[in-house]
A = this chain, B = another copy of it.
């Protein structure tokens, strides 16, 4: 991977002592100048204190820093939780000598546990000492919870002879469904958007095609946050429609890459499945069928068992609440057709499909043959390890 540096941004991550196991749990991303900022947050009715705080602060349109911890979600922590978020951002602002309302916060971890404010504030001097242009990967490490690997990416773009970059780190391995995932994503670019609103539009579109199109277990979190900062240190201004389109293409590509990293590293995941529903009456119908199949425990355990049990996929489609004709369905595992016009393709197809299911990544395509509606989701299997990880999470 190209190095993760982005001109005008410094990052860092340390073990502050929130996590009992001594792993990194506190990170910081700082812009040298007030950066343009856009953010997307969870749609859950229960929202963590830092989410509520950020929603207010991003309204100014600029930010200088994001302080983020793992190991505690600072959610459902009442007034004390909001006070904690304010205290931590104020301490970071003071140490960085920047305005308090230019510091955003994010948290991920257990919901409802008291927030260890002083553990964070005590660690801030050490965190600031650790800041460096080259330390973006430390930030990626500091936000991990059940993730087994840090997730990061970079895109380099040449615009009018000048190079600009988009760098992003992300976390998320459980509580993932297509409606923002249980995830955090922090992205920065050294380009500058000529029109302030363009950053928000670009972020929303990129989230829609990436984090809103993955599912691991169907749960959504209280802390989901994606933040994009544009500092402008490269000197590139994104102004023309062509510039904007290229920026969008690169941002989408980067986020889709991170989303795939999340599913691959999903809790207990052994199979990554590109699920496509086509031929539905509408895109919304297609999405509903995809969503139902992607969240069916019977389908997901069959993937884990490498069992080409296509009847479970058909049965899940049938209960999606969409008007479909069972006799017109076509189903494929990769390019192996399993069902044709509503009938199974027999034992030879099953044998070929079994080989597909032994692969770590494959596609499942269901054609309803009723129209032009299409939807795709990136999903995964449901394994013994998923249960183990989540039954033991707090102990």
Q: Does A124 sit within 8 A of B, measured CB to CB?
A: no
Contact (Cβ within 8 A) A387 B382: yes
Residue from B298, B309, B310, B392 in contact with A219 in the complex, judged by beta carbons closer than 8 Å: B298
Give per-residue flags for A34-52: 1 if the beta carbon is below 8 A from chain B beta carbons, else 0. Answer: 0000000001111100000
Within 8 A of B (CB), among A46-70: 46-47
Contact (Cβ within 8 A) B45 A316: no
Point out the residues of chain B lying under 8 angstroms from A315, CB to CB.
Answer: 44, 46, 75, 111, 175, 219-222
Within 8 A of B (CB), among A374-395: 382-384, 386-388, 390-395
Q: Does A319 sit within 8 A of B, measured CB to CB?
A: yes
Q: Does A312 sit within 8 A of B, measured CB to CB?
A: yes
Contact (Cβ within 8 A) B297 A393: no
Interface size classification for chain A: 35 or more
Residue from B45, B309, B319, B395 in contact with A305 in the complex, judged by beta carbons closer than 8 Å: B395
Supposing A43-B319, A384-B388 touch, asked if A314 and B111 sit within 8 A by C-beta, the answer is yes
Contact (Cβ within 8 A) A78 B343: yes
Q: Does A73 sit within 8 A of B, measured CB to CB?
A: yes
Give per-residue flags for A296-337: 1 if the beta carbon is below 8 A from chain B beta carbons, else 0. Answer: 111001101101011110111111001110110000000000
**In the assembled complex, how far is the CB of residue A293 from the closest CB belonging to chain B, in whole angstroms?**
11
Within 8 A of B (CB), among A221-263: 221-222
The answer for the CA separation of A175 and B113 in the assembled complex, in Å, is 35
Q: Does A100 sit within 8 A of B, measured CB to CB?
A: no
Q: Does A76 sit within 8 A of B, measured CB to CB?
A: yes
Q: Does A279 sit within 8 A of B, measured CB to CB?
A: no
Supposing A78-B342, A218-B297 touch, asked if A45 and B390 sit within 8 A by C-beta, the answer is no
Point out the residues of chain B lying under 8 angstroms from A221, CB to CB.
Answer: 315
Q: Does A98 sit within 8 A of B, measured CB to CB?
A: no
Within 8 A of B (CB), among A351-395: 382-384, 386-388, 390-395
Contact (Cβ within 8 A) B297 A386: yes
Contact (Cβ within 8 A) A304 B111: no
Give per-residue flags for A203-223: 1 if the beta carbon is below 8 A from chain B beta carbons, else 0. Answer: 000000000000001111110
Report which residue of A295, A309, A388, A395 has the largest number of chain B beta carbons within 10 angstroms of its beta carbon.
A309
Q: Does A116 sit within 8 A of B, measured CB to CB?
A: no
Point out the residues of chain B lying under 8 angstroms from A386, CB to CB.
Answer: 297, 301, 387
The answer for the CA separation of A327 and B75 in the assembled complex, in Å, is 12
Contact (Cβ within 8 A) A392 B305: yes
**In the assembled complex, how far is the CB of residue A202 from the closest CB belonging to chain B, in whole angstroms?**
26
Q: Which residues of A contact B (CB under 8 A)?
A: 43-47, 73, 75-76, 78, 110-113, 174-175, 179, 217-222, 295-298, 301-302, 304-305, 307, 309-312, 314-319, 322-324, 326-327, 339, 342-344, 382-384, 386-388, 390-395
11 additional A-B residue pairs with CB within 8 Å, beyond A219-B312, A301-B390:
A44-B319, A45-B317, A47-B318, A78-B343, A110-B311, A112-B311, A112-B314, A113-B344, A221-B315, A222-B315, A307-B391
Q: List 8 A-B contacts (CB under 8 A).
A: A111-B315, A112-B314, A112-B339, A218-B297, A219-B315, A222-B318, A304-B387, A386-B387
